Amino acid sequence: MNKKYYYDLEKKLNFEDVLLDALPNPIYYKDVKGDFIRCNRGFSELTNTCKKEIIGKSAYDFFPKSAADRNKLIDKQIMKTLKPYEDEVHFIRKNGELRYYKLSKAVCQNTDCVVEGIVCIMTDITERIKEKEILIQQSKFVEMGEMIASIAHQWNEPLVELSAQVQKMELYYSTNQINKKKISNFVSESMVPIQYMSETLNDFRNFLKPSTLKEEFDLKNAISEIFDIVGKQIFYFNINVIFDYNKEEEFLTFTYKNQLKQVILNIVNNAKNKIIERYKEINFDGIITIRLKSNKNLNIIEIIDNAGVIDESIIDQIFDPFFTTRENGTGYGLYMAKTIIEDKIHGKILVKNDNDNVIFTIKIPKIIRS
Ligand SMILES: Nc1ncnc2c1ncn2[C@@H]1O[C@H](COP(=O)(O)OP(=O)(O)OP(=O)(O)O)[C@@H](O)[C@H]1O
Ligand SMILES: [Mg+2]
């Protein structure tokens, strides 16, 4: 009977060894002091030590002191709580490779409920961690790509403005009209788009840490500043701009001023482009109306043009990235506008047709003075 018992026990232990060795995860069993009692081949390979030499040793013999200290602390804790525990560790293997592991620990008790030790199964999560890092890296690249595309998109307008100034100077020179006053005008008028380009650059550079950029301002000011940039082109093309708001009212908001300006600029530019196209066909008066309104909690900006509706079959797509119907368009302007308004400013941007007009509506939270 005794002999049979030992035979069965040995068979059982042998089976367990084979089973444990067959598992790819490193597994060990420690006593309450923290000394290894048993382990599998996976753990032996991890520590680069044969199983027999591992028995009786502790984590301090194989891992950095800080990792072993942490292990000891966790073991002590779970031997009190008796609850399973999961932890993540990383260490450099003998071949110099950095690997990450998840440790799943459980407390072993005998039939009298006395704690006898801890079992730990290690799972190699290095690939998963690396994939996560790659994803983070990729999303940073996407963000950077968007930032560069935004800068390029927003520089287009001031560059057109600036080149017009430069050409004007050439004309003055060729007609012998250059004088001190003209030069000083040239410098001050050129500085407006240059200043704007520089602000745009800083602004998008700070896109990643936008909390530093919020400011309190009146929408009336932001809108009038936009016309410092596009005003001249609108003037050249004889487009009528109506600014419709109650002069007594304040339209205070607390947000990213320059980014909001970028959005309005994009919408005004789209209207301007459409009006210029329309001029080629027929003679009509292009009008862009910018209306400011407010209700209890929101400031509402409406940008309206009278140069023909957006086809209902595409109206749902105009905010999609790279959707364009213009020959030289990138389709980036309204996508950028929606991203800024909805993701950064937490407002809303909508579009609708109204008779022959297109109305873009932006709703943003307002500051209420008591
Ligand atoms: N005011 C508008 N009236 C009619 N259609 C518009 C208006 N604004 C935008 N659209 C439509 O939405 C599309 C997308 O506009 P968006 O500003 O994103 O790109 P784009 O103007 O074509 O190119 P980009 O802004 O890069 O120069 C336009 O091509 C046009 O078809
Ligand atoms: Mg556009």
Whole-number pLDDT of residue 229? 64
The CATH fold of domain 209-370: Heat Shock Protein 90 (3.30.565)
* Residue pLDDT, tens place only, 56-86: 999 999 988 988 998 999 999 999 999 999 9
Q: Give the distance (Å) from ligand 1 centre to CA of residue 159.
A: 19
* Residue pLDDT, tens place only, 90-141: 888 777 788 899 999 999 999 898 999 999 999 999 998 888 778 777 766 7
* Residue pLDDT, tens place only, 155-200: 888 898 889 889 989 999 999 998 999 999 999 989 988 988 888 7
Whole-number pLDDT of residue 257? 86
Q: Give the distance (Å) from ligand 1 centre to CA of residue 334.
A: 7
Q: Give the distance (Å) from ligand 1 centre to CA of residue 126.
A: 46
Whole-number pLDDT of residue 228? 66
Any ligand 1 atom below 6 A from CB of 185: no
Q: Give the distance (Å) from ligand 2 centre to CA of residue 269.
A: 6
Length of the chain in residues, anyone? 370
Q: Which ligand minimizes its atom distance to the CA of 330?
A: 1
**Domain limits, CATH 1.10.287, in the chain:** 132-206
Query: At 67, which helix (H) or strand (E)?
Result: helix 65-81
Any ligand 1 atom below 6 A from CB of 157: no
> Superfamily for 2-124?
PAS domain (3.30.450.20)
Q: Which ligand minimizes its atom distance to the CA of 339?
A: 1
Any ligand 1 atom below 6 A from CB of 310: yes
Whole-number pLDDT of residue 278? 84
Question: What distances in angstroms separate CA 215 from CA 131, 211, 288, 298, 367, one per listed residue?
Answer: 38, 10, 27, 17, 11
Strands 240-244 and 287-294: parallel
CATH of 132-206, one of 3.30.450, 1.10.287, 3.30.70, 1.20.5: 1.10.287
Any ligand 1 atom below 6 A from CB of 305: yes
> The sheet that has 348-354: what strands, in order across it?
240-244, 287-294, 298-305, 357-365, 348-354
What's the whole-model pTM score? Answer: 0.58
- 211, pLDDT greater than 70: no
Any ligand 1 atom below 6 A from CB of 326: yes
Whole-number pLDDT of residue 108? 94
CA 104 from chain center: how many Å? 33
- Residue 239 near residue 272 (C-beta atoms within 8 A): yes
Any ligand 1 atom below 6 A from CB of 270: yes
- Mean of per-residue pLDDT scores for the chain: 87
Any ligand 1 atom below 6 A from CB of 304: no
Comparing CA positions, the residue from 1, 3, 37, 44 lying closest to residue 21 is 44
**Domain limits, CATH 3.30.450.20, in the chain:** 2-124
